[in-house]
Amino acid sequence: MFVLKDAVGLTEDASKLVFLDQTQLPLKEVYVETDDIDEICDAISRLKVRGAPAIGVAAALGLAVSFNSAIRCGGNTEDRAALFHSYAEKLAASRPTAVNLSWAVNRMLFVFDRSVRDGLSGTGLRHVLLDEAISIKTEDIEKCRMISENGLKLIGKGSRILTHCNAGHLAVSRYGTALGPVHLALERGLEPVIYVDETRPLLQGARLTAYEMVRDGAETILVCDNMAASLMSSGKIDMVFVGCDRIAANGDVANKIGTCGLAVIASYFGVPFYVLGPTTTYDPDTPDGKSIIIEHRRAEEVTEMFYSERMAPEGVGVYNPAFDVTPSSLVTGYVSEYGLFDNFEDFKKSLI
């Protein structure tokens, strides 16, 4: 089974957030310890911490430790409330598309406001916030374990699976979403073959998913993003597994840019296309994919290859959305901690 430490956690004394700086993978494994709110926000914004569930966990743990560090210096209740809310606002704004981030921040805000109304302060308040953040991580671990078991039902001996971006151990608290079932399949001797999209422009597939899969002993084949149609037309792919950053109320799915193209190709060639993720990525307040705010990132991510020099001429325009939206009509099934669902309506019923 995969042996890398958790990508997001706490120091032994629970005073600081610990995260694996994923911008340095696969060349270096560098863990960062901090209780500084600006450094935590920067880590999320710059993709040092990434993956929708991991972002939510990092935000919860980071909010607790940064606030706890700040209030040890004193201050009255009103100042502390203003400080906590300002930290929460900074974190929520660090990345706009993944709903897990705002979900985790709002959950921490609810616990903070309730605790203050109940008269908690000082050590008592610090403990409540830290306990809630740890609970969010613990719940994520359990959800990912259940997603992995449910997705494993789709994998047979030697199944050939294409995946995009990274939705594995590095993107969550443990196990993974889209890659969680693959880790279990390897553990149980099913010997799946994993085709990994490189995932331009930041190469999360090449740098992170390939790194995970090779470390776990999988037969791993790295392909350029524009090779998926060739693979599927040749009958070399049995199924596509992807994660999700937000699922709208109608079942449309926001995920890493390039996911929609894979879904279109898979539909054309009759290859099953599965979306795997915890129900915390479901956003009933977003009616459809068109309503999802899509994060746009720096032009340099496209004009300069990762670890390399500039490859495009100065003055060229750049379109660089970090995500796209896959219509629910192109999704064969949804896998959550509650089960494997052949259609979105059954997925929604599982939430009741």
Q: Which residues have a catalytic role annotated?
A: 245
| 181 sits in which H/E element | helix 180-187
Interhelix angle 99-117/77-92, rounded to 10 degrees, is 170
Question: What are the structure tokens assigned to 94, written together?
Answer: 């660090």
**CB-based contact 213:195 (threshold 8 Å):** no
Angle at 181 between CA 176 and CA 183, to 5 degrees: 75
Q: How many CB atoms lie within 10 A of CB 314?
A: 6
Assign 3-state DSSP to the chain and report helix, strand, coil percentages, each to 5: 45, 15, 40
Provide the β-strand partners of residue 339: 336
Provide the β-strand partners of residue 282: 247
| 324 sits in which H/E element | strand 323-326
For 16-75, what is the HEC assignment?
CEEEECHHHCCCCCCEEEECCHHHHHHHHHCCCCCCHHHHHHHHHHHHHHHHHHHHCCCC
Question: For residues 330 and 262, what is the distance between their CA atoms, to the nearest angstrom?
Answer: 10
